[in-house]
């Protein structure tokens, strides 16, 4: 089997800053922005666990530590923004629920990683993910628009990119193989199904379509690696490829947000 092209160290280092660069202290000003940022919280819940497990496996430890710290910081800042943007009681209640879950989750993420603590953090992360998703749904429902739904779908692809990487890492670390494989396969199926929906969106511009085509090309080599190869080289390939996908889908989601704001 032909190996995927390895990203250069410089390019991968650049991805660390590009993907999660959000102005500090910003305030949410539109509903489309709220849906985008609430959706990004889902991704961060998976990204934190992914990097925590990488550190535990002693793979890409320096980069993973930087991503972990930056992801915790960004989740905190965006949660503060969401607390200030609650257009309905339902949204407010769901934000408050995430606030209660975030504290304990963050504490575990600061403990030195072991297999046991990785499993514990993943379990807490699933709860955090589920409740973060409920915020997005409440905001999208409140918007009552097709644009809100497409921002949700596009933003969820960011989460799935990190979820796929997370579960492959757990598979490679021999953590709960049966359940891990089920979630891994489900993540790949959900990602590809959502991409079909995005390609059909009437909001697509040539730039968005080009990015979606690029993501489609990037996901292909993962199909031959995910849940099949456990050695360090292939773990690194999965992490790097999914971070490229994350970067592109983050851009796509931002473009959908801009389009919605200009309607």
Residue 7 has pLDDT above 60, yes or no: no
Count the helices and strands in the chain (H runs, E runs).
9, 0
Dihedral sign for Cα atoms in the order 164, 165, 166, 168: positive
The whole-number pLDDT of residue 3 equals 46
Question: Residue 220 corresponds to which tokens in the numbers above?
Answer: 């292909």
| Mean pLDDT of the 171-176 span | 90
Q: How far is CA 110 from the centre of its chain?
A: 20
Residue 163 has pLDDT above 80, yes or no: yes
The whole-number pLDDT of residue 4 equals 46
Q: What does residue 139 show for φ and ψ, rounded to 5 degrees?
A: -70, -40
pTM for this entry? 0.91
Rounded CA-CA distance 132/128 in Å is: 6
Residue 140 has pLDDT above 50, yes or no: yes
Rounded CA-CA distance 226/188 in Å is: 9
| Mean pLDDT of the 112-125 span | 96
Rg for the chain, CA atoms, rounded: 17
Residue 196 has pLDDT above 50, yes or no: yes
- With cut-offs at 50, 70 and 90, classify the pLDDT of residue 221: confident
- 253 within 8 A of 155, measured Cβ to Cβ: yes
- With cut-offs at 50, 70 and 90, classify the pLDDT of residue 225: confident
SS3 59: coil
Could you identify the residue written with the tokens 């592109």? 248
Residue 235 has pLDDT above 90, yes or no: yes
Instruction: Count Cβ atoms within 10 A of the Cβ of residue 142 and give its class: 0-12 exposed, 13-18 middle, 19 or more buried.
Output: middle
Residue 26 has pLDDT above 90, yes or no: no
């Amino acid at each position: 089997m032909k190996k995927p092209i390895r990203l250069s160290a410089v390019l991968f280092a650049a991805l660390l800053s590009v993907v999660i660069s959000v102005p500090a202290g910003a305030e949410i000003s539109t509903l489309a922005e709220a849906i985008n940022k609430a959706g990004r919280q889902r991704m961060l819940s998976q990204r934190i666990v992914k990097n925590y497990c990488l550190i535990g496996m002693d793979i890409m430890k320096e980069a993973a530590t930087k991503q972990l710290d930056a992801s915790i910081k960004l989740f905190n800042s965006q949660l503060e923004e969401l607390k200030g943007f609650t257009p309905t009681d339902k949204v407010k209640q769901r934000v408050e629920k995430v606030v209660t879950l975030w504290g304990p989750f963050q504490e575990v993420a600061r403990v030195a990683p072991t297999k046991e603590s990785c499993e514990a953090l993943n379990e807490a992360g699933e709860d955090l993910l589920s409740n973060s998703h409920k915020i997005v749904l409440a905001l999208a429902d409140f918007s009552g628009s097709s644009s809100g739904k497409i921002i949700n779908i596009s933003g969820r692809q960011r989460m799935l990119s990190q979820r796929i990487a997370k579960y492959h890492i757990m598979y490679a670390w021999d953590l709960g193989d049966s359940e891990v494989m089920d979630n891994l396969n489900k993540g790949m199926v959900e990602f590809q199904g959502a991409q079909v929906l995005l390609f059909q969106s009437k909001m697509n511009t040539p730039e968005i379509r080009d990015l979606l085509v690029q993501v489609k090309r990037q996901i292909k080599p993962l199909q031959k690696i995910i849940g099949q190869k456990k050695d360090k080289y292939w773990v690194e390939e999965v992490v790097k490829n999914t971070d490229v996908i994350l970067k592109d889908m983050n851009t796509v989601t931002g473009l959908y947000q801009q389009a919605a704001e200009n309607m």
